[in-house]
Amino acid sequence: MDFKNKVIWITGASSGIGKSTALELSKMSTKLILSSRNITELEKVKNECDPSSEIKIIPLDLEDYTSLPLIVETAISQFGKIDILYNSSGISQRSKAIDTNIEVDRKIMAINYFGTIALSKALLPHFIAQKSGQFVVITSVVGKFATPVRSSYSASKHALHGFFDSLRSEIYQHNIKVTLICPGYVKTNISLNALTGTGAAQNKMDTATKNGYSPEHFSILALKAVYQEKNEVYIAGFREKSAIYLKRFFPKLFAKIVRKMAVT
């Protein structure tokens, strides 16, 4: 992989997949822009990065997606261009649909879907003007199938696939790429921060998440897919990958199996 001198903007860079991606890319003499809501944690990540890379910090809140066009202008001004937007921010869910307040549904869609597409759409004219660019989107295997207690989270990830698959076909002639990366279980704080039906954080590490890929290993595999400009890649265990193909080719059987699937 050679990302030397590439300008890469990473959202969700204060923790988890975003943080591990930033640390890995910083070893490659890149120019990084790190974003999330937590400035203190972003500063810590910056200090952990390899000094061979230039790093800027731009705080943002994807839920406030009307503010993103101005933030995009600020980001472009840092290095004069952006080569890759690495959409890694997001929030998960752990509650049955009947128990989930509609405001929680709205919040998940605002952050995972509307915030991500608003940021990407605001950057799109820049990519078109320079006749190059790449959108990387961390979605989920539940963007390909759905499980219990993740109704809104799964909906937001399905929505991302629909939007970016369509966008890919629209911007092909401008030499702009779209790479969708679908993680299975990765050992991050995603289950700790997942919203329950009331909007409170779950504050519990799921067993499956605890036993998932390390963020460091996941990030290396994901960056290989980015470098190869793949359209879509599944980075997950055997069970999660099997579920994708089972849903596609044997949907009735999958519907029976998913009712009893252990998803936490």
Domains and CATH numbers, the chain: 7-258 (3.40.50.720)
Q: What angle do CA 175, 181, 182 make, to 5 degrees?
A: 150
| Top-confidence residue, 208 or 82 | 82
Model confidence at 262: pLDDT above 80: no
Angstrom distance (rounded) from CA 230 to CA 222: 10
Per the annotation, the verdict on 153 as an active-site residue is yes
Q: What is the pLDDT of residues 81-133, one digit of tens each?
A: 999 999 999 999 999 999 999 999 999 999 999 999 999 999 999 999 999 99
Q: Is the pTM value of this prediction over 0.75? A: yes
Catalytic residue among 65, 153, 185, 213: 153
Model confidence at 260: pLDDT above 90: no
H-only helix segments in 138-214: 151-171, 190-193, 207-210
Cβ–Cβ < 8 Å for 8, 54: no
Cβ–Cβ < 8 Å for 16, 42: no
Model confidence at 230: pLDDT above 90: yes
Model confidence at 263: pLDDT above 80: no
Residue with tokens 């940021």: 119
Model confidence at 1: pLDDT above 90: no
